[in-house]
Structures are given as C-alpha cells and as structure tokens.
C-alpha cells in the first residue's frame, strides 16, 4: 500500500515541511532507509542520519532545529516516537482487517458462534459453546477450548492454545505459542512421599487491551480465576501461576515468573528473569529489577533489586562500597603499619 505525506500527517496530526505528495510504501530505519520508505527520528544520537538518509518521508520532533538541508519530506509532531508507534499500529490494523472468512480445513463446533468480520485460519479448532466477537482474528493451528469467550477486535496468533472456560476481552493480542489456562502446579504431599494432583477447577480471565508475548504460559486457578487486568503487557516466555492477579497497566519483561496466588498491583514494572514467590502483595507502581528474587511483599511505589530482593537505593550504596573495597583495604593496611610504627617508637 502507498501513502502520501499528507495522508500520514493527517493520521498523526503532524505539520508537513516539503512535498506533501511524497509517497511511501514501507518502513525503514533512518540510517538504512531508501527511497519510498518512511522513517522517524526521536533519538538525538541518530540526527546525523537525517541529512544522509534515503527515506522519502521522515517523522521528527517539533523541537528539532535543522543544522543543514534535508532532502526528504518532514512531518513534525510533538513526540516522533509515539507518533511512529501510532502509525505502525494503524497500518497493522489495516492489514489485519483485510483478513476475513473461515479457511479450510478447520473445525468449528456446531454450538460455537462468532461475530462479523471474523477470520479463522486453517487447522484452527473451536470447541463447544465457544463465543468469538466481531473483527477477531484467529490464526492457523490455534486451539480454542470449550466454553471459551473471546471479545471484539482480538488477535490470536498461530499456535495459541486457550483451554476451556477461559475469558478473553476486547483488543487483546496473544502471540504465537502462548498457552492460556493450563493446569496450575498443584500437588498435595502424601504420607508415602508421593504427590497427589489437586484438580484445577478455575479459569483464566484476560481483560481488555492486554498483550501476551510468544510462548508465555498463564495457568488456570485452582478455584476462581487467574486474572490479567486491563492494559497489562506481558513479554515472551513468562510464567504466570494459578490464582495470580496482574494489575492494570502492569508490564512484565521476558522470562519472569510469578508464583501462585501473588497479587500484583496496577502500574508495576517487573524486569526480565525476575522471580516472585507465592502469596505476596506487590504494590501499585512497584519496580522489580531484572533477575531479582522477590521473597517478601513489596510496598506501593518501592523499587527493589537483588536476590533476595531489597531496597534499590540501598543496593546502589552497597555496590558503591564494594567498588571501594580495594582502596579501603589499602588504607587499613597503611593505618596498621602506622600504628605498628608508633607502638615501636613508644617502646
């Protein structure tokens, strides 16, 4: 698809400098872009490429003052990064909306139903009493179990598995290989040392505007629901255990794990490979640094790091002291030598 600078400016509310009829058909990084591509400049470190790039149209910040002539058409906006992200989202939406209909072969139970402009890819499976909303896209090789509810404008990418009774909201994106609603890790110790499986009877509820990364797993609750609140963003390869609750607009980076029944507040930020033990309370706006091991509840707004995790500011002070240990050792040895000399002179 081709777009003119004037069309792009209209979408992102930008001001054009240059040829409003300049057209682009694809996107490119500003340091590599070629004629016919759209690029953006948000980081000042890349400004030098603004004057050498082959891009036909470039989105830049309002505040940027040009140091020399630019051949490309410029579109000025308050925040180039946000504008470019919005444009990519719009483009992706346009491409996705072109997908309609039911590909064959696939299986859709007679009791399943779906709304308008739905796409179901080849080899997908929709079980009994499944409900799929308007404009939702289910890509090939996906499994949608019995009694699953999926809202409007949701995208289920290839190979996603959604077990029975789970509820998926509107504008949700679930990336390839994610598993929603597998059994929680519940086993009761027996007198003979063995473990007896505890049936997992609950489900998973994913609210609106959530994004779930590839190969992430979210376990169903033992009783009740594992809940991912509206606006939460989960990266790839994350494990969310049974009865966990992830708060509104919380973000979790790749390879993090959250153990059973832990409650995470809204607006929290959890770094990659962090591990959180079960039955904790992670407060609103809390920040957990990458590779932290969280063994105690975290107060709202507090930042923690390390394993076991502790106050972030205190950890920085400890690191500073550790860096100074060689110098401190040297000074201690000098003081010991001085004390020894003084003692010998006194004798």
Which H or E element spans position 328? helix 312-346
Angle, in degrees to the nearest 10, between helices 80-97 and 5-12: 110
Q: Distance between CA atoms of 106 and 102, rounded to whole angstroms?
A: 8
SS3 category, 180: strand
**Catalytic entry in 242, 248, 279, 310:** 242
Which H or E element spans position 86? helix 80-97
Q: Distance between CA atoms of 109 and 147, rounded to whole angstroms?
A: 11
Chain-centre distance for alpha carbon 169: 17
Distances (CA, A) of 185 to 195, 199, 200, 261: 11, 10, 9, 12
157 catalytic? Reply is no
Secondary structure of 212-256 in the HEC alphabet? ECCCCEEECCCCCEEEECCCCEECCCCEECCCCEECCCCEECCCC
Active site residues: 242
């Amino acid at each position: 698809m081709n777009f003119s600078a004037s069309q792009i400016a209209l979408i992102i509310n930008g001001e054009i400098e240059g040829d409003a009829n300049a057209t682009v058909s694809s996107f490119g990084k500003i340091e590599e872009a070629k004629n016919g591509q759209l690029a953006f400049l948000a980081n000042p470190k890349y400004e030098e490429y603004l004057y050498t790039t082959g891009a036909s149209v470039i989105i830049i910040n309002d505040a940027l003052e040009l140091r020399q002539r630019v051949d490309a058409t410029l579109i000025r906006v308050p925040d180039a990064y946000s504008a470019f992200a919005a444009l990519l989202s719009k483009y992706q939406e346009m491409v996705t909306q072109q997908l309609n209909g039911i590909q064959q072969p696939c299986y859709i139970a007679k009791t399943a139903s779906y709304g308008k402009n739905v796409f179901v890819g080849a080899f997908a499976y929709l079980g009994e009493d499944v409900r799929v909303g308007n404009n939702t896209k289910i890509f090939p090789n996906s499994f949608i179990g019995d009694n699953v509810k999926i809202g409007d404008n949701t995208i289920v990418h290839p190979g996603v598995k959604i077990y029975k009774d789970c509820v998926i909201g509107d504008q949700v994106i679930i990336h390839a290989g994610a598993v929603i609603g597998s059994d929680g890790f519940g086993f009761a110790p027996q007198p003979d040392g063995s473990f007896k499986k505890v049936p997992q009877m609950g489900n998973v509820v994913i609210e609106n505007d959530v994004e779930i990364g590839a190969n992430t797993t979210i376990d169903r609750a033992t009783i009740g629901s594992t809940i991912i609140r509206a606006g939460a963003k989960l990266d790839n390869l994350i494990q969310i255990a049974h009865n966990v609750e992830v708060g509104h607009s919380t973000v979790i980076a790749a390879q993090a794990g959250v153990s059973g029944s832990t409650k995470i507040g809204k607006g929290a930020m959890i770094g990659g490979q962090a591990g959180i033990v079960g039955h904790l309370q992670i407060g609103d706006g809390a920040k957990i640094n990458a590779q932290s091991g969280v063994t105690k509840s975290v107060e709202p707004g507090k930042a923690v790091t390390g394993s076991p995790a502790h106050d972030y500011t205190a950890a920085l002070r400890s690191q500073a002291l550790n860096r100074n240990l060689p110098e401190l050792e040297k000074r201690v040895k000098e003081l010991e030598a001085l004390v020894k000399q003084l003692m010998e002179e006194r004798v």
